Structure formats: structure tokens, C-alpha cells
Amino acid sequence: MEMLCFLLFSLKMGINSFYNELMDKLQTDKLQKFQQSLLNWYGGNARILPWREDPAPYRVWISEIMLQQTRVDAVKPYFERFLQEVPTIRDLAALPEDRLMKLWEGLGYYSRARNLKKAACIVMEQYHGRLPSDRKSLQTLPGIGPYTSGAIASIAFGAGEPAVDGNVLRVLARLSGNRGDLKDKAVRADLNALAEKLLSRQKPGDFNQALMELGALLCVPNGRPKCGECPVQPFCEACRQDAVDQIPVKTRKAKRKTENRTVFIIRFQHRIALRKRKEHGLLSGLWEFPNRYGHLSPEDIGKVLMEWGICPETITPLPDAKHVFSHLEWHMKGYAVRVKEKRETCSFVWARQEEIHRSYSIPSAFHAYLKALEKV
């Protein structure tokens, strides 16, 4: 652990040239021990994941995009299904938008899917259908930033590039005992430099994944990290200081805004009114039940329905529902509306229940009312 201190120290202060030779040798020994401990642990404890079984570039790419801000368990079923239906980059470049969104439905951050397809088209046109292997080229593709480029380059192509995500930042902050705020750019720069120093040049892909796996399984963000099982605990400064509960430091983000909405399940015979969201902004291009800003009074409800060309036969309140986005909260009141006749005056689509399930991507925000649908 002294060596990690030294590493950090030397990054900040520069290495005293008088000790350079000696320290370099010592550093190399310690570093190799560190890498070996981590890699050995990874070899015996890595979860079996579909994209690890066969780390072909396309598979690694898809997995890394899906894994952005998303847990492994959430990704697994999506990954399998996606690869089955869209097995190659060529297929992805040719995939219709609605199929793409259907495959992504429920996974969140939908621009990831759109960027994926854009990137696939670029790869077809500019790279002969092969994903580029170097970090810089990868990073020019939409949806691939500093983390993902490093992950793909190292895991799929064996390049000596670090891959630093939130998980690795936490692990490295603890290892090095860095009490700086992870939101701070300088702190991130330090930890990125540390990742570069620690990286195994022989097995960069495994090493990067090992660091992330450590963060996911042992050096966890919530609850007490399992330091007793940690393969690099002897190298950990936070553990030595008994400060794993104080590191990393993260400033809390501003409170979410709340937004009231009123949602309508409008039924004509066995069909339900759906509406396509605008092409820009929140949940863009996905389908939703017609809804309005605010909690509408009975009079307002009448007006809105009239605006839509809806002549209600019955209006029944549904249970309230809430949905939390990372930056926004919807507090929803719902109403089931029955109509006798449907006019073609508004931009709704009238879908059968099976069609909704099969062909329309409805974000989770509306799932409470999607469920209500089945009971009525």
C-alpha cells in the first residue's frame, strides 16, 4: 500500500530522480503483484456473461452500450434478444427504427439505440463493416465516449487502454485513499492517470473488467464493501485507514423537479388510443397514452377531450401513479375514458391490446396504466 501512496505521490509531485532507478524496480514488483492478485481473483470469480463467452467486437460493442448506466442483470435478456434478431453490424445498419426501439423498450436512455444504428451505418460506409480497433477512431462514433472506447479497445482488441467508469473511479478512489470529490475534474484526472499506471499491459481487457467486477461484486457502492474477500485489500489505503465508508466523496446532486400529469386510457370498443411522442426530448419517438401537463379539473378534462375530438361516454378515475426519472418526477392522475364513436380528427392511433404489446414501445413511465388496462 505504500507503493500506491508512492504512485499517487509521484503522479502529483513528480518522481525524485535520485530514487528513480530503485523506485522503478520496486514499483514494478509491487505493481505486478497487484495486477496478479486482481487477475487471479477475476479468473476464479468472474461472472459468466454472454458477452464474455465470445468477446467478438460487435458483441462487446453492443454490451458496452447497453451497460452504460445500466446493471448487468438488466442487460442480460436484452443482449441475448438483440443479438438473436440483429446478429451483425450490417443487420443493425439496416434495422428499421420501430424494430430497434421495440428491442430497446424498457432499457432506458433511448438515444443509445439511435446512436448505435447511426454508428453502424458509419461503420458500414467508412470502415468496410468492421468496427475500428483503436480508441480514437472508436470515439468518433456516436454513443462511444471515453469509457466505452477504452472498454471496446481493451476487451475486444486487446489494446493497452484503461476503461474508467463510475465503478472504477470508486475502486481507485478507495485503493489510493483519495478523499477528493469524484465530481471534481482534477480528481478524475488523477484517478484516470492511476488507472493508466496500474493497467496490465499483458491482459488489459481482463484487467479492466476485473476492476469493474471488483466494484460490482466486492467494492460495492451501497452498503459495506466486502473487504474480507478483496484480492487487493493489502493495497487498499481506504481499508487501511478504516475509511471505506467515507470514500469515495461525492457531492449530492440538485433535487429533482416534480411535474403533475393527467393520463387518459381512452377506449373505443376493444381499441386503445395511443399517441407518438415528439422526435426530440424526453422519451422521444416512443408511444404513450394521451396525457396533459398538470392535474386537470373535471372541466379541464372535458375541454381537453373535446380538443382531441373525443366524446366521452363514461369517465372513471384510475389510481394515481408516480414515475421517477433521474432529473424529473411525474405525479400522474389517470382516467379511463370510454367512447362510442371515434373520429379521425386527432393524431391518435387506435391499437388493440395485443398490438400494443407486440408493436408499440411504451416507456415504463406508463406501465402503471398499461397494467390498469388489463383489468378494465
Write down the least CB distance from residue 120 to DNA, Å. 13
- What phi and psi, each to the nearest 5 degrees, are found at residue 113? -65, -45
Verify binding: residue 81, DNA, rule CB under 7 A: no
Residue count at the site for DNA (CB under 7 A)? 61
For residue 91, the minimal CB distance to DNA (Å) is 21
CA distance 147 to 212: 12
161: nearest Cα among 213, 209, 214, 115: 209
- Which of 135, 170, 261, 333 binds DNA (CB under 7 A)? It is 170
Helices (H), the chain: 2-13, 20-45, 50-53, 57-67, 72-85, 89-94, 97-104, 111-126, 135-140, 146-157, 166-176, 185-198, 204-217, 237-240, 298-307, 353-359, 367-375
Query: Are the CB atoms for 45 and 66 separated by under 8 Å?
Result: no
Query: 213 catalytic, yes or no?
Result: no
Question: Per CB under 7 A, which of residues 238..257 are in contact with DNA?
Answer: 250, 252-255
Q: By CB under 7 A, name the one of 10, 27, 37, 70 that touches DNA.
A: 70
201 touches DNA by CB under 7 A? no
Select from 17-25, 147-155, 199-207, 337-345 the region that touches DNA (CB under 7 A). Answer: 147-155
Q: Mark residues 297-316: x for contact with DNA by CB under 7 A, - for none.
A: --------------------
Length of the chain: 376
**Hey, which residues does 271 pair with through a beta bridge?**
268, 352
Among residues 35, 167, 233, 291, the one that binds DNA under rule CB under 7 A: 167
The answer to whether residue 72 forms part of the interface with DNA (CB under 7 A) is: yes
Q: Is 135 helix (H, G, I), strand (E, B) or coil?
A: helix
Instruction: Select which of 2, 21, 53, 64 is catalytic.
Output: 64
Which of 7, 116, 212, 318 binds DNA (CB under 7 A)? It is: 212
Catalytically active residues, by annotation: 64
